[in-house]
Amino acid sequence: MTDGTTWLADRQSIAFGGYHVVLARGLSPEELAKRLAAALRYDTEHIVVPVGDHTGTSLLELMDDYDDVGLRLGSVGDWTYAVAYGGWQAEFGPLTPVSRDGAHVCLLEYEEENGKPVPPQFAYFHDGRLLAAFNLHLDGSWGYEKVEGDPDIAARLQERLTAAGLPDLERNRREVHRAALGVVEEFFGLALPREPIVSGTLPTVLLEPA
């Protein structure tokens, strides 16, 4: 099923604590996992360790330490995706290098249980460049007062958000979150299959020290 991305705005849409999803075009699931392992902020090199097919629940049961990071991998249309589990919060550095050699890479992230609170984040990279990034609450917090990135693409995306009535500080934040996801989904042609991620089993890897 080729769902969009707006379902990510549901409460605990993937797991308790929020979601960290990376979509990529031009990369196999295996290559995406390898590049994400290299993007971890740890001082030690990490490698990709396949552990079979898992649901989100069985992956978390498998992981001895929730500080570790696991990825469930899949594809839909021309998009490959990686869904992170465990202690992914703040563990990945910039994904610009993940998009090298012509790849398209999209980050969708929300630390839902962070008490600060941290707004949901969107960023899109291509061929080693940031094309667009902003916080999906569109509230001017956490350094994003508008869409940043490539001037032309950022301006066109900002126009789409404005046409959708965003930002709107009077609306419920979850509704704004969902509406903003809908705009970037249409603008970049994003797709993410809900049922396999929420209820199904997917090929799974752990990112472990080499």
Written as tens digits, the pLDDT of the chain (210 aa) is 458 999 999 999 998 889 999 999 999 999 999 999 999 998 889 999 999 999 999 999 998 766 689 999 999 999 999 999 998 988 999 999 999 999 999 999 999 887 677 899 999 999 999 999 999 998 877 666 689 999 999 999 999 999 999 988 889 999 999 999 999 999 999 999 999 999 999 999 999 998
**What pLDDT is stored for residue 199 in this prediction?**
95
pLDDT at residue number 1: 44
Specify the 3-state DSSP secondary structure of 124.
strand
pLDDT at 65: 64
The pTM of this model reads 0.94
Structure tokens that stand for 127 in this block: 């061929």
Alpha carbon of 116 to those of 4, 88, 119, 140: distances in Å? 28, 17, 9, 15
Identify the pLDDT of residue 168. 87
Rg of the chain taking only CA atoms, in angstroms: 16
The predicted pLDDT at position 57 comes to 93
pLDDT of 66: 62
Starting at the earlier edge strand, list the strands of the sheet with 69-76. Answer: 46-54, 202-209, 69-76, 79-86, 18-25, 104-111, 121-126, 129-135, 148-149
- Looking from the CA of 52 toward its CB, the CA atoms found within 13 Å total 5
Across the strands, what pairs with 105? 24, 125
Report angle CA 76, 38, 132 to the nearest 5 degrees. 60
Spatial CA neighbour of 137 closest among 103, 167, 157: 167
